Each structure stands twice: as C-alpha cells, then as structure tokens.
Structure 1
Amino acid sequence: MKPTLIAQLLQTLAPWRSAPAWHIAFSGGLDSTVLLHLLVTLAKTETLPPLNAVHVHHGLQAAADAWPSHCQSVCDSLGVPLRILRVQVQPGASLERAAREARYQAFAEVTGVGEVLFTGQHRDDQAETLLFRLLRGAGVRGVAAMPAQRPLAGGYLVRPLLEVPRVELEAYAQEHPLKWIEDPSNADSRFSRNYLRHKVFPALTQRWPQAVSSLARTAEHLNEAQGLLDELARMDLHAADRPSPFPWLHVPSLALAPLRELSDARQRNALRHWLTPLTRLPDSDHWASWLSLRDAKRDAQPVWRLADGELHRSGERLWWLPATWSEFSDATVSWPDQQNPLELPGNGQLKLMGNALEGPLQVRYRQGGEVIEVPGRGRRDLKRLLNESGLPGFVRGRLPLLYRGEQLLGVPSIAGRWAVPSEGWQLHWMPQSCDQGLS
C-alpha cells in the first residue's frame, strides 16, 4: 500500500529533525502552500525544529505586489512566522535565471549554521529541469538536474517533494481546501520552462503516459553517475595535490604532471570538480583553451580566462587567481614607523624584522631594470633573481620593494634562495589572501 503524502514526507525529513531551525521558501503557489500545510500538520503530532516561512518579492510584475499580503494571511492562519525579503533582479539575457539567482541569494542570507531551507519542487519540476538542460546541451552534472539536498550558506537546501508528482499535490490542496496564488507569468509560453510545461509535456505524455516519471528516474540515474565521476575526480586530484614550492602563496594550485598522465576526459573531469566552487564553468567549446594552456611551451606562462578569475600555468603548476586578485594599488607607500607593520592597499602587510633602518623608507613595485645588492654575490639584476627563484609571474608585479630614496634596499627573499642581508634585518611579506608570509 502506498504511504500517505504526510507519512512519506515524515520519512523524508528524518535526517533533518535535529536542525536548529527549519525555513520554508514560501512563494504562495501550490507547491509551497502544500508543503507549508504538511509541515504544520506534522508539527501537531511530532517534535520538529522551529518553523518559519520566507517569501521573496522580486517586484517583476504588478500582480506580485499582492502576494506578500496573501502569504502573510496564510502564515497567520497557520501560526507560522513569515519573513518578506525584497530583492533586486539584475537585468540580463535570462530574466528567469537572474530572478532565481536573486532568490537563492536571499535564501542563503537567512539560512544559519546547520539550519535547513525547504523548497517545494516536485517530480514534474525535476522532469522539466532535465529536459530543459538536455536541450541546452548540458553535461552529466547539468542533466543530473536538481539534487534532493545540497549545502546552502552554513546549512542545507532540501527538496522533500522531489518524488511526489504534481497531481498528488493538487489532490492534497483540494482535500484540505487550500488557497494559493496562480502566477500569471506561468502561463506565458515565451519563457522556456513554461513552453515545456504547456506545449511539450502534454504532447509527450499523450504519446508516453509515463514520460514525467521516466525522465525523473533518468535524472536520478544521472545523479548517481555524477557521484561516481566526483569520486574519480577526488582520486585524481589527490595525486595532483602536491605541496607548492611557495607555501606562503595561499592561492589554490595543482601539480600539472599527475594530470598529464590522465586521459583528456579524466583531466576535464578533475578540473571541473576542482573549479566548480571557484568559478562558473565554460561550455564544451571553450575547453579547447585548457589544451592550449596545458600544451604551451615550458617557458611560457599561459592563462585561461574564466568567468570569475584566471587559471595560470607556471613552474609546471596550475594556479587559480580569483577576479579580485588584480584589485590592488601599485602606488608608492611611505613607511614612517618601522616598528609597526605596513598595510599595503589590497596587497597584505609588510613587516621589518631585526635592526631598524635609517629613513625615510618607501615601498614601491617593479617597473623593470631594478638592481639589488645580494650578500656574497654583489649587485644582481632583480629580474634574473626572480627567474632563478621560479616565482610565478603573476606574483612579481605585487612583490613589495623597499626603497630609501632611489636605492633599492631589499626584497622579500624567495623560498630561501637569497641570503639574509648582512645588516641584520629582513622583510616579511604576508600577501592579502595568504595564511603564511614571505620573508
């Protein structure tokens, strides 16, 4: 015998019953209205975490101005606190995507550590998502569609109705008689998802009555396949996660040699896994840039520019630089008090260790042609010293140089390559994003 909807939900919610709080994304539509009613009903007989509702107001259509008051009325009748969050949707090519990003950003802001946010997507939504992403040419991760749970801020986003068809939600709403909002935009077939819902799926289900459940099941299979690909990626990345020769340079990096030993497909799989938390990934056509970076000459310093930063190759190593990396000032900075660290705008902190120096002192950045006195070696060209050190090119422009007048007094030494100055002092640089410094 098939379990009732409320019994099915109770079983699904079992892993989350010890959470500090439950939030529900409450649009006022059918799905979230049913989910809210189910949760309130469960709370009458079960000990559950505190429940509150969150309504995100996008302000994209006039009809939406009445929805917050409707949601407040529903929540008041059920005894559930409601938060109404107003967001700004950034204009762009896809209004649907921009609204979704604004909505989930708002959800992330209200979800505390260990807390759970529930959304009302159901099995029909899962099937629509799969077909929509297939038509866009998504890979396995994309067509695996919506996971039943995923991290969100310090907590989790959970979709407890993913295995429930919409028709069951409609039946429950009629049985209890619930009132919900019908979004006028849901009937507009100019939006891709609405076109699938109103034009494509009726034709599919007329020919194949089990089309929705079959597509949802396919999404589950693909999700399992993606899990296996993630396991393989973690194995491959473990081999490439070798210590950096510059441990003070705390940016994500990988050794290239272990990746070269893999097939092209496994290289892409490992890099997708590594880059996913760092940047939006390119489509298949743009992965040719990875081959260009990988196969460039050894003395080259190739760069692969991605949506949220750059992947550099230097010293047979891959380095990820976020878009914010270049946001620092290379203006000259005076250092009037050597006893205190010098804050470098956008570039961390510089300390003078050991004996004090006669001033006035300044910190400048490379212009080219700099020469420095190296104990035991005489005057040496700074560029040549940096080449000997193997310091990645993207760091060299940020390397703080200590001057007195026009005399270059010192540079933070690189990985022990240069001797400590004989005068008994040294520079210690802690770049902005680093856990450790460079002396």
Structure 2
Amino acid sequence: MAPQPRNLLQGLLEDALAETPPGRSIWVALSGGLDSCLLLVLAAQVCQQADRPLRAIHINHGLQTAAETFEKHCTTLCERLSVPLTVVNVTVDVHGDGIEGAARNARYKAFFATLPAADTLWLAQHQDDQAETFLLAALRGSGVRGLAGMPYRRDAQCLTLVRPWLTVSRVMLESAAQSLDLTWCEDPTNSDISFDRNRLRHRVLPVMRERWPTAVTALANSANHASEADRLLREYAQEELQSLRVDSQYLGQCIDATALGERSCARQRLLVRTLCQCQGLPTPPQKRLESLLEQLSAKADAAVCVEWPGAQARLWRQRLYLMAPLEPLPPWKANWDGQTPLETPIGPLGCQVLVLQQPPSQPLKATWRQGGEVIQLAKRGRRDVKRLLQEADIPPWERERLVVIMQAGACIGVIRPPAQLLWQAEGVRFTRLNLPA
C-alpha cells in the first residue's frame, strides 16, 4: 500500500531534519499560501518530535492590498502552533527586473539579513514549481546551470536553504492539506496570466498534461539531470583551473590568460564562469564574456577591462584577474600618529609604525600613492617606488590604491590596505594591527 501523502511529506521533512547539524534552528519561509502553511504545520510536528527549535519568517512585500491579510493569517497560524514568527517588511524595487524577479530578490535579501548565521531555511517549492522553472529557463535560452532549476540544498551567505518537497507534486500537497482541514490564503495574483509563471501554470502545462500526463515529472527530472551535469562540469572545471592559476605574491591568485586562450571556446567560457562562481561573483552575460575571450591575446602591456553588473575582468601581462568593481578613489590625505588604526576611504589601515631614527617630533602623513615617491631601503639604497611596483608585478589598477606614509617629505612605507606592508624604509619598523572583523 502506498504511503499516505501526509506520511510521505513528513518522511521527507524528517530526512531533511536529519541532515541538519544539532544546535541549528530550522526556519520555514511562510507566505500564507497552501504550500508554505502545510510545510509549517508538518514541520512543527516533526521538530517537536525531534525536540528541535523551529521558527517562521514572513516577508511582507506590500505589493497588494491582500498583503496584510497574508501577514495576519501567518501570525494566527504561528500562534496556534506556538512557533515564533518574524515578519519583515520589504520595499520591492522593480528597476528593470520585472515585478516577479524584484520581489524574489527582495525576499531573499531579507532572508539573508534576518536569519542568524548557520541556521537552515526550509522552502516549500515542489515538483510543479521545478517544472515551471525549467520551462522558463529554456524559453530564456539558458544553459545547463539555468536549466538545472532550483537545487534541493544550497549554502549561501552563511545560511543553508533546503527544499524538502522538490520531488513532490502539487496534487499531493493539496491532498495532504485537505486531510488536515488546513486553511490558507489564495494570492489573487496567482490567476493573473500576464505573469510568465502564471501563464505557464494555467495555459501551457494543462495542455501538455493532456498529451503527456507525466509532463511535470519529466520536466522536473530533466532539471535534475541538468543539475547533475552542472555539478560535474563545475568539478572538472575547478580541477582544470588549478593548472591555470598563477600565484601573485602581492595580489593573490590569477589565471594564465595565454594558457586559457589555448583551450576551446566552449572550455574557455566554462572556466571563466566557474572562476566567477568560485569567487562569489556574478557570471558575465554572453556578449560581455565573448568580448573578454576575444582579448585574451592582448599585448602584455595592454590595460584591458571588461565590466558587467557586480564584477569586472582585467587582463595584464597575460594574466586574467576577476574581481568586484573598483570604486573611484576620492582625494585623501591625513596626519597620523603612527599607532592607532588610520581610517582611509576604503577602510581602516591596520598597521602601526615605529620610527627608529627620525626625531619623534616629525609628523607622519598618509596619502594615496601619487607617483614619483622614492624610498630608502635597507641594503638596497634609494629605490623608485614605481620601479619596485613593476618588479613586484603589482597591476596598474592596484598601484593607485596603495597608501604611502611620508615623514619630512620622505617616503618611509608603502602599504596595500588594509595591512599588507610592501616596503618600509631603513630605520623604520611597521607592525600589523588586529582589526575587528
């Protein structure tokens, strides 16, 4: 005999709970709809039996008059279940993303800002949602990563996001909700087919089911296959990236652009995207990526910079650097006592200095590197800072972000914020300060 829907759903929650380390709270993302209300009710039973803490979070988007009704229903349900509820009001900034995407972005931003680090958030998406996500990605022309849809588990920004019911149909959730005499709120926008997902749900998938009754399951399975392929490609790409890395003494790791350019175009695209993902950067749109790859063979002294929202790629001396966008530096100079952390426009300077030979009455001044500085190095004599930077392979865009410490018109130290000492003058000793995280 097949298990009852309620028992099957509880079993999936018990499996998810078993994967959660002890001491971590479980949160349920509670919208007020059928899926999330059912998730909260069954999660409360499972967590109570296991003596595990459970909390709920409701995001009020404020996009419709029914928003207050949703919040009130969530409050009532949580009170009945004795589950602590956190309500977060957000402002949805559409800004070209479309209202669906903007609301989703605001919702996840609130999750990450509200939940304590290391806690786990359960989301109520199901198999039908996964099928819709797969179709939407296919219609956008997405690659393997997009077609992979929603993952069962994702670790992001110190939180763990889990979708325990991703293999369960909406019909099963409805059956379980009816057996529990559950009440929930119907979102009036769910019937608005001007939204892409609603149009798929109400117009496209019903037609597909008429011809292929298992269409939803098949589409969700395709998303699972794409997810597995994406994970494998990522593993292979990470291994290959290790052979392309170039360690820079002063700037960390970068990629050998010449060696990257010798790979096939498809391989180049995969490696750059994977490197972005490893560094927590958004992957470049297709046109930006193609523009970057076309310039892998640029001259060694060329200053190539390709930017896209949230990231930029720079090529210099046949090396590829991926990074967050660099903000323009404001004019800045400051007097410094040499002991306390010095505030710069890009954060505190975590160094202190002991001047061994200069009279202590000579004040210290700190400023961005301007060019033309000369420093007296022990056993090396007077050296142009510009020449030192060239010898150290420090890229041009980093050179203007260095802090030079001056005393009596002479450069006595060069620091890469927050506390990387590059050079110190003879008779001077810099030490590192422990800055608060």
Q: TM-score range by the shorter chain?
A: 0.7 to 0.9
Instruction: For residue 152 of structure 1, report the CA deviation from its aligned partner.
Output: 3.8
Q: Residues 12-47 of structure 1: CA distance to partner in whole angstroms, max 9, x if unpaired?
A: 332533442211111110111222222234456x32
Q: CA RMSD in A?
A: 3.1
Structure 2 CA distance, aligned partners of 1:413 and 1:106? 37
1:23 aligns with 2:27: yes
The question of whether the paired residues in 1 share the 8 Å contact of 2:411 and 2:425 is answered with: no
The structure 2 residue matched to 1:212, chosen from 188, 199, 216, is 216
The question of whether the paired residues in 2 share the 8 Å contact of 1:123 and 1:216 is answered with: yes
Instruction: For residue 431 of structure 1, report the CA deviation from its aligned partner.
Output: 13
- 2:302 aligned residue: 300
Q: Which residue identity is paired with 2:17?
A: W
1:53 aligns with 2:56: yes
Decide whether aligned partners of structure 1 residues 166 and 391 sit closer, same or farther in structure 2, where only a CA change above 3 A counts: same
- 2:94 aligned residue: 91
Instruction: For residue 411 of structure 1, report the CA deviation from its aligned partner.
Output: 4.4
Aligned residues: 425
Instruction: For residue 268 of structure 1, report the CA deviation from its aligned partner.
Output: 1.9
The structure 1 residue matched to 2:367, chosen from 353, 364, 369, is 364
- 2:266 aligned residue: 265
Q: Which residue identity is paired with 1:149?
A: R
- 2:3 aligned residue: 3
Secondary structure of the 2:312 match is strand
1:104 aligns with 2:104: no
- 2:419 aligned residue: none
- 1:70 aligned residue: 73
After superposition, residues 190-229 of structure 1 pair within 5 angstroms as 190-229=194-233
The question of whether the paired residues in 2 share the 8 Å contact of 1:412 and 1:427 is answered with: no
1:174 aligns with 2:208: no
- 2:344 aligned residue: 344
Q: Residues 284-305 of structure 1: CA distance to partner in whole angstroms, max 9, x if unpaired?
A: 2221122134221112121121
Deviates more, 1:338-347 or 1:388-397: 338-347
Structure 2 CA distance, aligned partners of 1:109 and 1:377? 51
Secondary structure of the 2:56 match is strand
Instruction: For residue 375 of structure 1, report the CA deviation from its aligned partner.
Output: 7.1
Deviates more, 1:133-142 or 1:286-295: 286-295
Instruction: For residue 221 of structure 1, report the CA deviation from its aligned partner.
Output: 0.7
The question of whether the paired residues in 2 share the 8 Å contact of 1:56 and 1:106 is answered with: yes
Instruction: For residue 226 of structure 1, report the CA deviation from its aligned partner.
Output: 0.6
Q: Which runs of 5+ in 2 are unaligned?
A: 417-421
Structure 2 CA distance, aligned partners of 1:231 and 1:202? 38
- 2:136 aligned residue: 132
Secondary structure of the 1:311 match is strand
The structure 2 residue matched to 1:115, chosen from 103, 114, 119, is 119
Name the % identity. Answer: 37
Structure 1 CA distance, aligned partners of 2:413 and 2:294? 34
| TM-score relative to the length of structure 2 | 0.86
Structure 2 CA distance, aligned partners of 1:413 and 1:150? 38
Decide whether aligned partners of structure 1 residues 396 and 180 sit closer, same or farther in structure 2, where only a CA change above 3 A counts: same
Secondary structure of the 1:35 match is helix
Q: Which runs of 5+ in 1 are unaligned?
A: none
Instruction: For residue 122 of structure 1, report the CA deviation from its aligned partner.
Output: 0.9
Instruction: For residue 130 of structure 1, report the CA deviation from its aligned partner.
Output: 0.3
The question of whether the paired residues in 1 share the 8 Å contact of 2:404 and 2:415 is answered with: no
Q: Residues 107-126 of structure 1: CA distance to partner in whole angstroms, max 9, x if unpaired?
A: 22343344221111111100
Secondary structure of the 1:294 match is coil
Q: Which residue identity is paired with 1:180?
A: W
The question of whether the paired residues in 2 share the 8 Å contact of 1:30 and 1:170 is answered with: yes
Secondary structure of the 1:243 match is strand
Secondary structure of the 1:133 match is helix
1:38 aligns with 2:42: yes
Q: Which residue identity is paired with 2:346?
A: G
Structure 2 CA distance, aligned partners of 1:23 and 1:256? 44
The question of whether the paired residues in 2 share the 8 Å contact of 1:314 and 1:392 is answered with: yes
After superposition, residues 250-289 of structure 1 pair within 5 angstroms as 253-256=254-257, 258-276=259-277, 277-289=279-291
Structure 2 CA distance, aligned partners of 1:85 and 1:420? 50
Structure 1 CA distance, aligned partners of 2:56 and 2:382? 69
Decide whether aligned partners of structure 1 residues 271 and 332 sit closer, same or farther in structure 2, where only a CA change above 3 A counts: same
- 2:155 aligned residue: 151
Q: Residues 291-333 of structure 1: CA distance to partner in whole angstroms, max 9, x if unpaired?
A: 134221112121121211322223433323323x436544121
